Amino acid sequence: MELQWYKCRGGVWCELNKIDLSSNALKELTGVYILWTGQISSKRTIIKVGSGKITDELLKNKRDLAMMAFFHLGLYVTWAEVPALKRRNVQYYLTSVLQPKFEEKVPDLNPIQVNLPW
């Protein structure tokens, strides 16, 4: 499955603590997201993979003390729209491939392979 990963204005990766979550483009968007530190691939650390209503999920992460601990490193985020019936399968795939530091418990599902944002 080919996903369109979101970047911020100017084609740069978004920093979680700088995103304006009141944007109309995000209001009803549901899908998967990835949080990471490090812009250079050799120094990239995947912090979290999640899914759901993007504005709600990112707001929760902006307020999460564990995520705030990474803000000084630059905590980047991207997301992609994924239909509800496939969302958890895509999240399962991304979690198994990226091995985030903070792992949401996702039931064993049939993974749906997707392209990574990098």
The first and second tokens of residue 55, run together, are 């504005």
Q: Assign residue 49 a region (left: φ > 0; alpha: ψ between -120 and 50; beta: otherwise).
A: beta
**Domain residue ranges of the chain, discontinuous segments joined by +:** 14-98
Q: Give, in order, the Cα–Cα distances in Å from 40 to each of 8, 45, 94, 96, 110.
A: 17, 10, 19, 21, 31
Q: pTM for this structure?
A: 0.94
Q: CATH classification of 14-98, choosing from 2.60.40, 3.40.1440, 3.55.50, 3.40.50? A: 3.40.1440
Q: How far apart are CA 26 and CA 31, in angstroms?
A: 11
Q: Sign of the CA dihedral 115, 54, 96, 106?
A: negative
pLDDT tens-place values along the chain, 118 residues long:
999 999 998 999 999 999 988 877 778 899 999 999 997 777 899 999 999 999 999 999 999 999 999 999 999 999 999 999 999 999 999 999 999 999 887 778 899 999 999 9
